[in-house]
Amino acid sequence: MASSSRPLSASLPTTHTHRVIPSSSPSPSSCSPATTRFFRRTSSTHPNNSISVSFTCLKAKASMSANMPPATQEKNVQVFDSEEDLSVALAKYTANLSEKFIKQKGSFTVVVSGGSLIKSLSSSTGCSANNACDCWRFRGRLLNAYPVPIPPGNIYAINDALSAEGAADDYETCVKHLVHNGIISTSEASGFPKFDLMLLGMGPDGHVASLFPGHPLLQEKNKWVAFIKESPKPPPQRITFTFPVINSSANIALVVAGAGKAHPVHVALGHGQDPDLLPVQMVSPEGELAWFLDKDAASKL
């Protein structure tokens, strides 16, 4: 997770084409006050796994599609011809939210999940997936075209020197400090922390963060951060934000690329069925849910 006092703003160098279906409707010691804060992921591998985060920016030219099925037309879904185009649009979306929240309350809090989201986003920043965080910290830039003054202390990574239990506890304590200090908002509706934006990926099985199909953690109602020791996807030990926190977010962007994810996308957007409730179907933020898909992920829509 992370935060900035200056909105992500700059010129938008590129125009790309995509379809838009508008919506109808860490450790505690690193918890210093400041303003864009990045929460490095909603889930993390643990231990000995590289943690990576990043995203890119730019402008995408929107055009409405008249050919999308009705169920999709009720959602905010954007489909891009390439991962690069998707990245560009996602960065612009993030920049707009950053500007809005910083104007409103002087800060912007963002959670970024792991997986290929990081790789694809880092590709157009000039940072590799592995050094994306260092790019933020040491180059003082979140995005190539969007200079963002994010102090290193505003990026909250998990402490992977700890056990999974310890890391979850440590991260939850960190978030509690930030809530206590007023840096992270609290949802009036749920009482859980309310991040301004979560950037989530999704697995081919429909999992989000480290919340897997059929796992008891899907029903977690109290914890903010939970650990898992038997993840069906390696590595087995992870920590994750829980659904009460995820769904208290002001905004969530679900960023999905690849044909292997077309089925859960199809189901989550209301066009198909799966015998199991997919975790991605449980994503329901207090504010807006925006889908950023590449054309392969959208191929069954």
Positions that interact with ligand LXAUTJHC (CB under 6 A): 43, 113-117, 201-203, 209-210, 233
Please report how close the Cβ of residue 208 comes to ligand LXAUTJHC at its closest, in angstroms: 6
Q: Are 118 and 54 in contact (CB under 8 A)?
A: yes
3-state secondary structure of 208: strand
Distance in angstroms (rounded) separating the CA atoms of residues 9 and 142: 11
To ligand LXAUTJHC, the closest distance from the beta carbon of 42 in angstroms equals: 6
> Which of residues 21 and 208 has its CB atom nearest to ligand LXAUTJHC in the complex?
208
11 CB neighbour count, 10 Å cutoff: 8
| 107/171 with CB nearer ligand LXAUTJHC | 171
The DSSP string of 20-68 is EE------GGG----SEEEE--SEEE-SS----------EEEEEE-SSS
| CB 191, min distance to ligand LXAUTJHC, A | 25
Q: How would you class 36 by CB atoms within 10 Å of its CB: exposed for 0-12, middle for 13-18, buried for 19 or more?
A: buried
Using the minimum distance from each CB to ligand LXAUTJHC, give the nearer residue, 59 or 233. Answer: 233
Q: Which residue, 145 or 224, is less far from ligand LXAUTJHC as judged by CB?
A: 224
If 0-12 CB within 10 Å is exposed, 13-18 middle and 19+ buried, where does residue 226 land? buried
Minimum CB–partner distance for residue 204 and ligand LXAUTJHC (Å): 7
Give whichever of 209 and 250 is closer to ligand LXAUTJHC, judged by the CB atom: 209
Distance, CA of 240 to CA of 289 (rounded, Å):
19
**Closer to ligand LXAUTJHC by Cβ: residue 115 or 193:** 115
Output the smallest distance, CB 139 to ligand LXAUTJHC, in A: 24
- For residue 296, the minimal CB distance to ligand LXAUTJHC (Å) is 13
User: How would you classify the pairing of strands 2-3 and 76-80?
Assistant: unpaired
What is the nearest approach in angstroms of ligand LXAUTJHC to the Cβ of residue 192?
19
Report how far apart the first and last C-alpha atoms of the chain are (Å, whole number): 32
The total number of residues written for the chain in this structure: 301
User: For ligand LXAUTJHC, which is the closer residue by CB, 34 or 257?
Assistant: 257
How many Å apart are CA 268 and CA 265, to the nearest integer?
A: 5
Q: Which is nearer to ligand LXAUTJHC, 43 or 248 (CB)?
A: 43
Residue 234 burial (C-beta neighbours within 10 Å; 0-12, 13-18, 19+) = exposed
From the CB of 99, what's the least distance to ligand LXAUTJHC, in Å? 26
Cα 123 to Cα 258: distance, rounded to the nearest angstrom = 16
Sign of CA dihedral 248, 240, 40, 18: negative
